[in-house]
Amino acid sequence: MGQTWLLGPYMGQMLFERSEAELIRSARKGDGAAFADLIRPHYVAAFRVAHGMLHNSEEAEDAVQDAAFTAWKKLGNLRAGSPLRPWFLAIVANRCRHVAGSRWWSVVWANRAEGEAPAGDIEAGVDLRRALARLGHDEKLILVLRYYLDMPYEEIAGTIGVTPKAARTRVERALRRLRPILQAREALI
């Protein structure tokens, strides 16, 4: 296996992809680029978790970056053979908890970057985001994992550290709290 990072991150990965175990070894020795490549497959999911929790793209990007540094520092806690994704997403979620906790403002944005959705959809989205904003961190997180990241219960369980059955129960409970909003939208449609 050659070190091909001078070719650029993506080209290098394509030509000489390093195994996850090798990336973990390098990252533990202090190779930040190796750690970045280790979490590259999970970056989009991490951003979606952060955005689902924070509803702000800049904050979400920052939260993922901070979580990445924490995860790098804590990489020694990851046992051999353990899945990286739920572990990393758990740290992202925890970072979002910190970010939200340090906020002195709160905004539920109505305008989306795409700006092309029908007005009704935008209203529905705002309603749902407002409803999510009223939930506690854990309830919001489990709904985001389930319905925004489309995670199966097994993976949700791995991310939040409970059993799949408990994950399902928590999803159902959290959803129950959102039900008035969802049913109201359904009635309007």
Partner 1 sequence: MIDERLVFERFHEALDVPPPSGGFDRLRIALAAAELNPRRSLWITPRLVRATQLVLVVLVLLALAVAMIGILVAGHPPPIRPHGGQVMIPAKMVSPTIGWAQAGLSEVWRTIDSGASWTEVTPPILPDRLWPSQYDAAFFLDGTHAWTVETGQGGSNPSNLYLSVFGTSDGGGHWHQGQSIPIGVQGGLDPVLSFIDSSHGWLLVSETNPEDIEAAPILYSTSDGGRSWKQVSAPASPPRSFCGPVPMTFVTVNFGVRVPGCGSSVVLVTRDGGISWQVQRPLPATAPDGDFDAPVLFDSMHGLIVFHGIQEVVLVTSDGGLSWATRSLPETDPMAVSFVDALHGWAATTALYPVINGSRSRVSAGGRLYHTDDGGLTWALVQTNLLEKSEGDDLGGLYFVDPKHGFASFTNPSSGTSSSWLKTSDGGRTWIVVAAGTICLVAC
> Contacts with partner 1 in 3-22 (CB under 8 A)?
9
Binding mask 129-168 for partner 1 (x = CB under 8 A): xxxx-xxxxx-x--xx--xx-x---x--xx--xxxxxx-x
Exactly one of 21, 25, 40, 152 binds partner 1 (CB under 8 A); which one?
Answer: 40
Shortest Cβ 134–partner 1 spacing (Å): 5
Residue 24 binds partner 1, judged by CB under 8 A: no
User: Closest CB to partner 1 among 16 and 69?
Assistant: 69
Exactly one of 4, 13, 59, 185 binds partner 1 (CB under 8 A); which one?
Answer: 185
> Contacts with partner 1 in 161-180 (CB under 8 A)?
161-166, 168-169, 175, 177, 179-180
Exactly one of 2, 19, 79, 119 binds partner 1 (CB under 8 A); which one?
Answer: 79
> Contacts with partner 1 in 100-119 (CB under 8 A)?
100-103, 106, 112-113, 117
> Contacts with partner 1 in 59-78 (CB under 8 A)?
61-62, 64-65, 68-74, 77
Shortest Cβ 34–partner 1 spacing (Å): 9
What b/e sequence results for 118-136 when a residue is b if at least 16 CB atoms lie within 10 Å of its CB, and e otherwise? Answer: eeeeeebbebbbebbeebe
Cα→Cα distances 145→81, 90, 122, Å: 23, 11, 21
